Structure 1
Amino acid sequence: MIAGLGASGGIVIGRAFVLDRQYIHVIRQTIPADRIEQEVTTLHRGVDDSIEQLRRLKSQSGALEASASDELGFLLDAYIQMLTQSRLLRGAEDRIRQQKMNAVWAVSDVIDSIAQQFSGIKDRYIAARAADIREVGLRLMRCLMGETDRALDNAPRGAILIAEELSPADMARLQPGNVGAFVTAIGGAEGHTAIMARALGIPAVLGAADIIRGISGGDTVIVDGIRGEVILRPTDADLKLYGKRREDWLAARTKLLGLRSLPSETKDKVQVDLHANIELPVEVTTVLQNGASGIGLLRSEFMFMNKNYLPDEEEQYQELAGIVSQMNDLPVTIRTLDIGGEKLAVALQNEMGSGPNPALGLRGVRLSLRREDLLEAQLAAILRASLHGRVRVLVPMVVTVAEMVRVRQIYNRVADRLRANGHKIPKTLPPLGAMIEIPAAALSIDALARECEFFAIGTNDLTQYTLAIDRSDDQVAHSYDPLHPAILRLIHEVSKASLRNNVPLSVCGEMAGDPRYTPLFLGMGLRNLSMSPGSLLPVKQRVRRLDSRTSEYQTQQILDQWDPARIAVMLDDFNDLA
């Protein structure tokens, strides 16, 4: 049994498909002389990214038993050494400078050269070193290319996908039902890959460092995404135990489905609107099946992932119009592009690169205002799609009032252009709102209220930026705590200010989808929660068991506390009693 982090609930028994990253399609380009230094810089940036991956994997392996941790650690240290002082790196740099090869081609050519030199040598030690160099070289090439590996396409239907790491771009290619579950060596339960797994309803265990050792394709595997357990080559007793747990889990889920048509209201008849967050168009069916009263957050990044070009207005319109139409006039809140951090678009990365800290760099509204052509195309597509249903426009990563003023100017200009070109759009434009996910925005909420028609609190980034903790960093993710009193007080202040300024407010982070936190939001006066589709029914069940006045009293007691551990105990005690 290998322990990891339960990132997406469910229990699956199936056959392992070990993601084979060996095949990479190399584009060979001869670069001009004035681009040589730029390409060398690109090579070194790829080396830095590869080393960071290996260090993260080594950090994750620290949870293993001492002997296994040491063995894997030595291997990863050797890989890091190969990326800093080796003929691989020197050879690639020489080929860029002397033969004007692009970086990926140069690395590929060095690997081929080394493999050819060692091909006739029968010594097993040397053969192993050649294989290590190839592994390191392939990792470097993947970082340089920044594209999703085609090996995902070969996974048989229902397989359990085993991988060192899956990116959000990888996740965007997975279809519910095609993959039974997945397990990765790297990753945390609060990262974007985990969020997408929950959104797609794919059981997942992340951070299972030892999974990359000793497993073969076709092995029987049990994945328990609830407890974070992975059983390799299970015994009959294991199969019986987890088979029973799976039956219990399915029975509980069936019971929840009975809540779909019931109102989302407390025992004292307070209505709480439950909306869904979606990453991909394929989720709309699940959203409707689970009885959502709308889409509170449509992340538009899916239109940009796994593409080496930027989708134009027409392509975005077609995608968005399809989603809005399927929602049958239920409200759809579309967030403008928030590429950055974990979420990368190949076309933008190739064009603009990335800063030393992408989470704090050019992303969200900052990128949109740097590249107004991208924002204009997206706003035009949204305005045209709004003819198919009820739409709102949400702007991410807002910090200042000036940003919202500028976005509104562009919004109005795009509307005028569309009308002038004969496009029908609503006379009253869809509401324009801001994500409150940066402490500066939360603390400036009264000023922002003058320029926004609604707000949505993004608890994931609000927690990350307030606590200065990267929730996807394995070394510090355990300290990512939404119950820190600073987080709760920020949310409460935003709630009071929204009510004071008569601006509608929702919560659309992962906290909204956890029934544990439902009494807190209810007690703060929040009446609109948006979450992964799979969380809708558990949260509705929680809402229906609560009384709003009791929740308000209990929340006030919690807000008076300063110790996160004490807050957690008080909240759990209340949940046990309510």
Structure 2
Amino acid sequence: MSLLLTGIGVSRGIVIGQAHVADGEPMEILEYNLPRAEIGSEVERFHQARESAKAQLQNVRKQIPTDAPAEIGAFIDTHLLMLDDEALSEAVARIIRQEQCNAEWALQAQRDELVAVFDQMEDPYLRTRRDDVDHVVSRVQRLLMRGDDIWDEEKSRAGAYPILVAEDVSPADVVLMQSRGIRALITESGGPLSHTSILARSLGIPAVVGLHRARQLLRDGESLIIDGLKGAVFANPGEREVAYYRHKRRELFKHVRELKGLRGEPACTLDGTRIQLLANIELPEDLRLFRKTGGDGIGLYRTEFLYMNRPDFPDEEEQYRSYLEILAQADGMPVTIRTLDLGADKRLIGRETGPDDGHNPALGLRGIRYSLSEPGIFLKQLRALLRASADAPLRIMLPLVATTQEVLQAQQMIEVAKQSLDARGQDYDPAIPVGAMIEVPSAALTAHQIARHVDFLSIGTNDLIQYTLAIDRVDDHVNYLYDPVHPSVLKLISTTLQAGRRAGIPVSMCGEMAGDPQYTRLLLGLGLRDFSMHPSTLLEVKRVITRTDLKELGGRTRGFLRNTDPDRAPDLLRRLNALH
């Protein structure tokens, strides 16, 4: 009898094969005190394990194919840098000396402290960086306690089973998967923004993550079908399911070939309306993928990553060089750079100064609020952005705007930065466009006022949906309430788009909703013409656009806005997407 399990599909593809359930026996870490005379040798034992872990990762890096995406090596390098970081080297040695405890316990204590910081972050991408801490710590712990790594234990059997089922898999192990005969991946933990998920997508390995208790529900050697798009896993499938998914696999290959043919084509609807497709950029590899997809520019570049995981703030020159590099990569296309979105949800690890967590991080000192409260930090960034604008088209975007007053204060700061550059005799674009992100209900409801003072608006649906429905979309307990087509959310989006039209300024959308093809027609019908998304979804959205006639959408979209019943929205969406 077949069993259907569902997790989070993070890497598209269909694989039919047998399960290899990895050893799930957890490492039991005990604390014990050491005589002071043995502390020096215990610190040395820890450093030797750390050096062995580095050697393992360096060996993995050598095995990366020469034609593999560049980001694969970058992820391995990230873990190598973490092993050398003081937070995972000297801090652990210090705990061993101060507590006179064993290395395993000291490493676990430091891991717990670091993970606690990441767990308090609201930003989904940054929160998943805790996985990197876990992967690096687990590698060193395994060497301290067992003297091996996961592949030393499993490689003799792994090649016989093409679908790996594990609690979690590190990026280094993802790199090794193909050489070990693994063709698909199922993990009990993880999310779509983890390094493991990103690497699986880059390598074309179908993957389903967040499938809780997978190792208990699936047996070693059991027949499986994995659908990495829908997040579905069939255990012990029947002939009918196997035949169906073989057919789906052939259709998928055809679909991928069709998408590749769209790379150089404009994003135009059937009635000839040109739609602008922009990219959200978080990591250097996103820029490489962006160039391959033929986007129209960068709709969101996040700058807070310049500030994270370092003991000091970046100075003006460092930021200026970084922005110039992004503009050079864009090769003359427009680039929208968001000012620092650092706050209670994005703490500065290992730094004493910075925004305090407050009682409620999601509602605390973050985004433009933090920048306005720290004029010295804000002015450095503004001067760097203005200087970069002299060389290429650049727009400044203000995050988490809640009131018109915040926009006016930020505009005053920009004027101060311009005066400072004038005094230095440094060039900048005096008419640099400045826009506001609409991420909270108050901003959406007063968008007509905010629009009078900015050159563009950008709807950040990730936060807008969460603040409107009072849920955390990465919390397993409440994320079922996350609903982009909830009537309240659609009314806020429509209100913002109307405000932009009345003010004669462009409105883009840079949340995940913009990159989900199932919402493309709805957003087009609401009036959205500028979409900004992760580069990996750009061609999927373009495909829907090129098959859509805007004249057919009007009545159906108005029906969405008249609807007040959240339960009816999925059916309305299905009917809208059925149009050809």
Is TM > 0.5 for Structure 1 vs Structure 2? Answer: yes
Distance, in Å, in 2 between the alignment partners of 1:473 and 1:539 is 27
**Whole-angstrom CA distance in 1 between matches of 2:184 and 2:357:** 31
* Aligned partners of 2:271 and 2:549 also within 8 Å: yes
Distance 1:481 1:291 in 2: 30
Q: 1:319 aligns with which of 322, 345, 351?
A: 322
The gaps in structure 1 that reach 5 residues or longer are: 25-101, 117-130
Q: Which residue is equivalent to 1:142? A: 114
User: Which of 6, 10, 25 pairs up with 2:9?
Assistant: 6
Q: CA deviation at 1:338?
A: 1.4
Letter in 1 for 2:563: Q
Q: Cα deviation per residue 1:176-212 (whole Å; 9 max; x = unaligned)?
A: x9999876544566x7989978997986533223357
Q: Which amino acid aligns with 1:485?
A: P
Structure 1 residue 539 and structure 2 residue 577: aligned?
no
| Contact 1:314 1:381 (C-alpha < 8 Å) held by counterparts | yes
Cα separation, partners in 2 of 1:524 and 1:233, compared to 1, 3 Å: closer
1:434 maps to a residue whose letter is: A
Q: 1:480 aligned to 2:482?
A: yes
What CA distance in whole angstroms lies between the structure 2 residues aligned with 1:290 and 1:519? 20
Equivalents in 2 of 1:292, 1:185: separation in Å?
35
The residue type paired with residue 422 of structure 1 is G
> Which moved further from structure 2: 434-443 or 225-234?
225-234
Residues in 1 aligned to 2:26 and 2:435: alpha-carbon distance in whole angstroms: 42
- Report the counterpart of residue 529 of structure 1 in structure 2: 531
Residue equivalent to 2:208? 205
Measured after TM superposition, the shift of residue 450 of structure 1 is: 2.0
Asked if 1:433 corresponds to 2:417, the answer is no
Aligned to 1:388, what secondary structure does the other structure show? coil
Q: Secondary structure at the match of 2:213?
A: helix
RMSD: 4.7
Question: Any residues of structure 2 matched to 1:172-187 within 5 Å, and which?
Answer: 185-186=188-189
Deviation track 1:127-146 (CA, whole Å, cap 9, x = no partner) reads: xxxx9x78964652433676
Deviates more, 1:383-392 or 1:136-145: 136-145
Distance change in 2, residues 1:422/1:201 (3 Å): farther
Structure 1 108/400 Cα, relative in aligned 2: closer, same or farther at 3 Å? farther
Taking a change above 3 Å as real, the CA distance of residues 11 and 375 of structure 1, as seen in their structure-2 partners, is: farther
CA contact (8 A) 1:197 1:204 kept: no
Contact 2:343–2:356 (CA<8 Å) still a contact in 1?
no
- The corresponding residue for 1:504 is 506
Percent identity of the aligned residues? 37
Q: Could you tell me how far 1:560 is from its partner in structure 2? A: 1.0
- Selected match of 1:368 from 371, 375, 397: 371
Q: Who is 1:384 aligned against? A: 387
Letter in 2 for 1:437: E
3-state SS of paired residue (2:397): strand
SS at match of 1:577: coil
* 2: CA distance, partners of 1:566 / 1:180: 39
Q: Does the 8 Å CA contact 2:302/2:338 hold for their aligned counterparts?
A: yes
User: Is the Cα–Cα contact under 8 Å of residues 20 and 151 in structure 1 kept in the other structure?
Assistant: no
Q: CA deviation at 1:401?
A: 1.1
Partner residue of 2:76? none
Output the CA distance in 1 between the equivalents of 2:441 and 2:549.
30
Does structure 1 residue 276 correspond to structure 2 residue 279? yes
TM-score of the pair, normalised by structure 2: 0.69
The 10-residue stretch of structure 1 (201-210 or 393-402) with the greater mean CA deviation from structure 2? 201-210
Cα distance in 1 for partners of 2:457, 2:437 equals 6
1:343 & 1:161 partners in 2: Cα distance?
32
SS at match of 2:267: coil
Letter in 1 for 2:133: D
Q: Give, as a single letter, the amino acid of the residue that structure 2 aligns with 1:442.
A: A
Report the counterpart of residue 337 of structure 2 in structure 1.
Answer: 334
The 1:563/1:451 distance shift into structure 2, 3 A limit, reads same
| Residues 524-554 of structure 1: CA deviation (Å, up to 9, x unaligned) | 1221111111111111111111111211221
Q: CA deviation at 1:306?
A: 3.1
1:508 alignment partner AA = C
Match of 2:561 in 1: 559
TM-score with structure 1 setting the length? 0.69
Correspondence for 1:120? none
Is the contact between residue 523 and residue 555 of structure 1 (CA under 8 Å) also seen in structure 2?
yes
Give the Å deviation of 1:337. 1.5
Aligned AA for 1:358? P
AA of the residue aligned to 2:385: I
2:412 paired with 1:409: yes
Matched AA of 1:272: I
Per-residue Cα deviation, 1:245-266 (whole angstroms, up to 9, x for no partner): 6665344222101112222111
What CA distance in whole angstroms lies between the structure 2 residues aligned with 1:408 and 1:198?
Answer: 42
1:210 and 1:460 map into 2 onto residues whose CA distance is 28
Q: Does the 8 A contact of 1:513 with 1:535 survive in 2?
A: yes
Q: State how far apart, in whole Å, the 2-side matches of 1:353 and 1:570 are.
A: 44
Change (3 A) 1:317 1:5: same
The amino acid of 1:140's aligned partner reads: D
Query: Where does 1:29-68 land on structure 2 (aligned, <5 Å)?
Result: none
- Stretches of structure 2 lacking an aligned partner (at least 5 in a row): 30-89, 119-129, 140-149, 152-162
Matched-pair contact (CA < 8 Å) for 1:199–1:283: no
Greater shift in the superposed pair: 434-443 or 548-557: 548-557
Change (3 A) 1:490 1:547: same
Deviation at 1:353, TM superposition (A): 4.0
Contact map agreement 1:15 1:221 (CA 8 A) in 2 = no
Indicate the SS of the match to 1:471: coil
Following superposition, the deviation at residue 458 of structure 1 comes to: 0.6
Change (3 A) 1:352 1:243: farther
CA distance in 1, matches of 2:97, 2:474: 34
**How far apart are 1:555 and its partner, in Å?**
0.2
